[in-house]
Amino acid sequence: MTKEFIGKRIKRNEDPRLLTGQALFVDDVDIPGMLHAAFVRSDYAHAKIVSIDTSTARQMPGVVAVYTAEDMGDEWQPGPPLVSPPPTVEDVVFHSRRQAPLVKDKVRHAGETVAVVVAESRYLAEDAAEEIWVEYDPLPAVVDIEKGLEPNSPLVHDDLESNLAAHLSQEKGDYEAAKAQADVVISKKIHIDRGAAAAMENRGIVAHWDEKGQLLTIWDTTQAPIPIRNGTAARLGLSENQVRVIAPFVGGGFGPKIMMFYPEEMLIPWISMKLCRPIKWIEDRRENFYATTQERGQVHEVEMALTKDGKILGLKDDFLHDTGAFDPYGLTIPLNTQSHVMGPYEIANFSSEFKVVFTNKTIVTPVRGAGRPQGVYIIERLMDAAARELDIDPIEIRKKNLIAPDAFPYSHSIIDQAFAELILDSGDYLPTFEKAIEMIGYRQFIEQEQPRLRAEGKYVGIGITPFIETTGVGPYEGARVQIEPSGKVNLATGIGTQGQGHFTSFAQIVAEQLGVDVTDVRIITGDTAEFHWGTGTFASRGAVVAGNAVYAAASGVRKKVLKMASKVLDAPEEELEIQDGMVRVADIPRMSISLGELAAQANPLRGAVEPGTEPGLEATDYFGPQYGATAFGTHAMIIEVDPETMLVEIKRYVTAEDCGRMLNPLIVEGQVHGGVSMGIGNAYYEQLHFDENGQLLNASLADYLIPSSMEMPPRIEVGHAETKSPLSELGTKGVGEAGTIPVPACFAQALENALQDFDLEIAETPLSPNRLYELLYKKEQ
Amino acid sequence: MRIEGEYTFSGTREDVWEIVRDPEILSTALPGTQKFEQVGENEYEGRMNVRIGPVSGTFGGKLTVSNEIPPESYTLTVEGTGKVGFLKGTGDVELLDQGDGTTLMKYDGEVQIGGRVASVGQRLFDTVSKSMIKQGLEKLDEALQARSSDAD
């Protein structure tokens, strides 16, 4: 039998290159004759542009070109719509408004691009950009989403009647009837605010139009190089194979680097073609805070109807969602929120209506979690409130409502972000939930440790939060696997890589099929010249969708290997085994041939081949799931709150994850660790503060706090369960966002538990030491 | 952002009024002022260099005085723009005769800031603006005392 690699804790193939600075990032690209771009961005959140004076800047030394919207003439056009609203939901309202490469009439958020300078160096470009004088006529800004829908609100888009960007309702069963039968109805208004993705690497793009070769090469920090290639070709009137988009190593994606068609992504390639010179632009951190997409702003009014023994009869969740100045990414986020409000619980009656609101703030598109953390926060806040109201243990009320293992595939009977019925493909939730409870020692903590520490005057608390994560959505991904005469294996797939360990997990899949070592598989991701079909890395879909495409392509090559070796070795295929780079007859080891030799023979230089024979040991295949695979997990934490400073120390952090079959538990755990860190930021540190004029007040890493080792728990313990997805050969489910999704909910639960003397009820996130102090202080008054 | 405070001048209300309405004295009082000139009856234009934490730059702007009730109160409107952002504010200034030869100035206004000044400097804006106002008012008080000793 071939050696097994899938499911093994294998160290990452890519790490030596990453850790020694040998990996290519966009800013490493340096081409002779390359020019540099700097942008003039609006200081105002909402203002008419009266005039732009570029005369001084154009005369400055080293300046090659300056462009405003006017200079683009007929070539000025807004970005493409990326995701349309679900066509199957009745009475859906959706007003598509997309960002422009350069602002023409009025600016709609601070940081919008007004002009671009191209110069011999970035320094000269920045200096010249400072000499461009833009006269604005400031307008009142739309900042608060509730006020934004009031009839007298200023309008972000003057051609619309209001700031309503979208409106969608979904119903399941009959909530009002369920409410009428309920023993108790819990209602809450919950506020969720924005944060940044704050990837370590900011965005960047280098575009190189080769006039003689008639080829445009773009290095882009994108999660989705193929849609960027196709969209760029369409915008610039080139054929798709004249555009090559390379997403090299990317220092963190987290959603905002998805196929956005940011203004810079539209402009830099266009300028390169205008000037026939390579152009580079690398975003700085302040630009990243203003101009890279953000997420999470929502206001929910929610009601839960229950029996007195804690069984949920129905749930009603109406909410507003902040989309910022434009809505290129459609309704993905609010649909995800809706999909996760019912979460892992069986809820027969559900009613949810959301309104998406335009505001004069940075555009909102998915950030790790993508609407899911909000959904989980809502349901879990209500579970805690219900447990308290009914005097039921918070664990027991959750157990009572978890979907039973024999109910899968379980339909939540609403439409999800992929416009398909939200079906949870598989799961066995209770054991994973109990695993987390056992790992953190819930009973022992509640019954012994907490009373003891309380007696010592310590405010310690515990939170335990189950959650689902819809992952691995379609439409499809592809892969091409080829064995070289050297015996090494090449794999190319269309998705980009931003640290997920693709160079290892995909290599494990290939290595297991082809009997080679994991380090013998050379992988190329995110280069459209190598593979040009697919969408991208998002929605925790890499291991599911691309992973199964890799499996299919590797299986195809395996079939070719066995068929050819059977002829060469004159033995039936069933008697052959592939191991250590050799194909051999199982019980006669000397009857063997190396994979490299077979590959050479499969590509003859002379002679004739049988008709229909394909050269080489190569196969391309695709995978598109019927619908997404849904993962489950439970996070638990024990915290201690300092009642003077409101600083929170996370004493223990435990997660139990069921992401289906694991390709590499080491990588799964790495994903969870990173996700938890982001979730802790979301819960207690990271909040973007906009003032009433739409000015972002903390656009630097000095003021916007990202958790450091000081705020992290000493360890994150990860437990595993594997309920394989029936939707694919590998049985994988995604885990890329799982670490982040339940953290704010779990944190709020632990805080309430630690501060039960204060009778604290938390109905907002992110919190902060300041905000917690205010909540407690107000309570005391 | 709200800016409010008070300051006691060692002089009569009439003397303080003269000082605060004298463009030449004002131009020397505000720290970082490069230019300050009267362009209309109650309108002034100027340039001022400002440093707020990591952000520094020159603001060019306009100051307008309105609602004048000599020597009791007036309203100031400021609009400034520069490479590092913009500033826009309105504030009411009141002078109260303390009856002991001193005058209490009360000021209360709203300021909007934008651009780099807001996004990076916001945390320090409050402190810096307070200290600039204090410095400015102290300078005015010095001028007031110099003038009264000249008169003596």
Q: Hey, of A697, A698, A705, which one would you mutate to test binding to chain B, going by the most B CBs within 10 A of its CB?
A: A697
Find the range with the poorest average confidence among A84-88, A342-346, A357-361. A84-88
How close is the nearest chain A Cα to the Cα of B76, in Å? 19
pLDDT average, residue stretch A196-204: 97
Cα A77 to Cα A235, A267, A361, A401, A502, distances in angstroms? 9, 11, 21, 51, 36
A43, A289, A700 member nearest B115 (Cβ)? A43
Asked if A11 contacts A517 with a C-beta cutoff of 8 angstroms, the reply is no
The answer to whether residue B19 is domain-embedded is yes
**Chain B touched by A307 (CB under 8 Å):** no
Predicted confidence (pLDDT) per residue in A715-752, tens digit: 999 999 999 999 999 999 999 999 999 999 999 999 99
Q: Are the Cβ atoms of A695 and B118 closer than 8 angstroms? A: yes
Among the partner-chain residues A130, A138, A286, the one whose CB lies closest to the CB of B119 is A286
Residues A172, A158: Cα–Cα separation, whole Å: 36
Confirm or reject contact between A138 and chain B (CB < 8 A): yes
* Domain with B32 in it: 2-145
Residue B32, pLDDT score = 84
Q: Inspect the interface and report whether the beta carbons of B119 and A44 lie closer than 8 Å.
A: no
Q: What is the mean pLDDT of chain A?
A: 95
Express each pLDDT in A484-543 by its tens digit: 999 999 999 999 999 999 999 999 999 999 999 999 999 999 999 999 999 999 888 999
- Mutation for A interface: B52, B79, B111, B120, most A CBs within 10 A: B120
Residues of B with CB under 8 A from a CB of A: 1, 83, 85-86, 88, 112-116, 118-120, 122-123
User: Taking residues A634-647, what's their average pLDDT?
Assistant: 96
Nearest to A110 by CA among B110, B10, B115: B115
Q: Is residue B152 part of a domain?
A: no
* Distance (Å, whole) CA A393 – CA A384: 9
Answer yes or no: is B112 within a domain: yes
- Asked if pLDDT for residue A781 goes beyond 80, the answer is no
Contact list, B1 vs chain A (CB under 8 Å): 691
CB contact under 8 A, A44 and B86: yes
Report the gap between the CA of A111 and the closest CA in chain B (Å): 8
Shortest alpha-carbon distance between residue B94 and chain A (Å): 27
Report if residue B13 sits inside a domain: yes
Other Cβ atoms closer than 10 A to A573: 13
Between CA A631 and CA A629 the distance in angstroms is 7
Report how far Cα A548 is from the mean position of its chain's Cα atoms: 19
Domains (ranges, CATH) in chain A?
A: 15-22+474-623 (3.30.365.10), 31-139+201-251+257-291 (3.90.1170.50), 294-473+626-780 (3.30.365.10)
| pLDDT given at position A224 | 94
Asked if residue B55 belongs to a domain, the reply is yes
Write the CB contacts of A574 (distance below 8 Å, at least 6 apart in sequence).
none
Look at B119 and A698 and tell me if their CB atoms are within 8 Å. yes
Distance between start and end Cα atoms, chain B: 42
Confidence of residue A334 (pLDDT cuts 50, 70, 90): very high
The full length of chain A comes to 781
A693 touches chain B (CB under 8 A): yes
Instruction: Compute the average pLDDT of residues A766-781.
Output: 86
pLDDT at A86: 65
Q: How far is B20 from A578, CA to CA, in rounded Å? A: 92
> Residue A445 gets which letter from DSSP?
I
User: What CA–CA distance (Å, rounded) separates A59 from A701?
Assistant: 35
Distance from CA of A114 to the nearest CA of B (A): 14
Six-digit token pair at A255? 């959603």
pLDDT in tens, B55-72: 888 899 999 999 999 999
**pLDDT confidence tier of residue B118, bands split at 50, 70 and 90:** confident
The three-state (H, E, C) secondary structure of chain B, written as one string: CEEEEEEEECCCHHHHHHHHCCHHHHHHHCCCEEEEEECCCCEEEEEEEEEECCEEEEEEEEEEEEEEECCCEEEEEEEEEECCEEEEEEEEEEEEECCCCCEEEEEEEEEEEECHHHHCCHHHHHHHHHHHHHHHHHHHHHHHHHHHHHHC
For residue A68, give how far its alpha carbon lies from the nearest alpha carbon of chain B (Å).
18
* Cβ contacts from A onto B, under 8 A: 46
Q: What residues in A contact B114, CB-CB < 8 Å?
A: 43-45, 110, 693, 695
DSSP secondary structure string, A540-552?
Answer: T-IIIIIHHHHHH
Residue B83 to residue A130, Cβ atoms within 8 A: yes
Give the CATH number, domain containing residue B116. 3.30.530.20
Tell me the chain A residues in contact with residue B52 when contact means C-beta distances shorter than 8 Å.
none
Burial class (CB in 10 A: 0-12, 13-18, 19+), A770: exposed
Q: Which contiguous run of DSSP H or E holds residue A47? A: strand A47-53
- Which residues, at least 6 apart from A152, have a Cβ–Cβ distance to it below 8 Å? none
Q: Flag if B123 and A702 touch (Cβ within 8 Å).
A: yes
Phi, psi of A703 (to 5 degrees): -105, -25
The confidence score (pLDDT) of residue A337 equals 97
At A608, is the pLDDT very low, low, confident or very high (cuts 50, 70, 90)? confident
CB atoms within 10 A of CB B22: 15
Query: Could you report the per-residue pLDDT of A548-587, keeping only the tens digit for each?
Result: 999 999 999 999 999 999 999 999 999 999 999 999 998 8
Contact status, residue A325 vs residue A109, Cβ threshold 8 Å: yes
Q: Chain-wide mean pLDDT for chain B?
A: 89
Return d(Cα B43, Cα B66) in angstroms, integer.
Answer: 9
Provide the sign of the torsion angle of the four alpha carbons A254, A255, A259, A264, taken in this order.
Answer: negative
Q: Which residue has the higher pLDDT, B122 or A254?
A: A254
Residue A33 pLDDT? 97
User: How close, in Å, is residue A473 to chain B by CA atoms?
Assistant: 37
Say if A43 is an interface residue toward chain B (CB within 8 Å): yes
Instruction: Tell me if B151 is assigned to some domain.
Output: no
| The pLDDT of residue A1 is above 60 | no
Among B86, B119, B123, select the one facing A696 at the smallest CB separation.
B119
- Which residue stretches of A249-331 are H helix? 263-275, 285-291
Q: What is the pLDDT of residue B152?
A: 59
- In this prediction, residue B27 has a pLDDT band, given cuts at 50, 70 and 90, of confident
Considering only CB atoms, A289 lies closest to which of B86, B119, B123, namely: B119
Task: Sort A305 into a burial class: Cβ within 10 Å, 0-12 / 13-18 / 19+.
Answer: buried
Task: Determine the residue among B52, B58, B119 to mutate to test chain A binding: the one whose Cβ has the most chain A Cβ atoms within 10 Å.
Answer: B119
3-state SS assignment for residue A196: coil
Q: Which residues of chain B does A49 touch, with a Cβ-Cβ cutoff of 8 Å?
A: none
In chain B, the number of structural domains is 1
**Does A47 touch chain B if contact means CB atoms closer than 8 Å?**
no
**pLDDT range class, residue A298, cuts 50, 70, 90:** very high
Which residue out of A700, A701, A705 would a mutagenesis test of the B interface target, given it has the greatest number of B Cβ atoms within 10 Å?
Answer: A700
Element (H, E) at A443: helix A442-444
Tokens representing residue A34 in the block: 């390359």
Check CB contact under 8 Å for B120 and A286. yes
Residue of B nearest to A44 (CA): B114
Residues 6+ apart with CB under 8 A from A387: A310, A393, A394, A396, A397
Quote the distance between the C-alpha of residue A235 and its chain's center: 26
Check CB contact under 8 Å for A696 and B120. Answer: no
ipTM of the complex: 0.84
Task: Check A695 against B114: CB less than 8 A apart.
Answer: yes
A695/B119 touch (CB, cutoff 8 Å), yes or no: yes
Q: Read off φ and ψ for residue A768, nearest 5 degrees.
A: -160, 165
CA dist., res. A728 & res. A545, Å (int): 9
When pLDDT is cut at 50, 70 and 90, the band that residue A323 belongs to is: very high
- A456 contact partners, CB below 8 Å, separation of at least 6: none
DSSP assigned state of A79: P
- Does A285 lie at the interface with B, CB-CB under 8 angstroms? no
A289 touches chain B (CB under 8 A): yes
**Distance of residue B71 Cα from the nearest chain A Cα, in angstroms:** 34
Contact A697 B118 (CB under 8 A): yes
> Where does the pLDDT of residue A780 fall: very low under 50, low under 70, confident under 90, or very high at 90 and above?
low
Contacts of A693 in chain B (CB under 8 A): 112, 114
Quote the CA–CA distance of A748 and A773 in Å, as a whole number: 14
Q: What six digits make up the tokens of A540? A: 């925790």
Q: What percent of chain A has pLDDT over 90?
A: 92
The conformation of residue A519, written as its DSSP 8-state character, comes to G
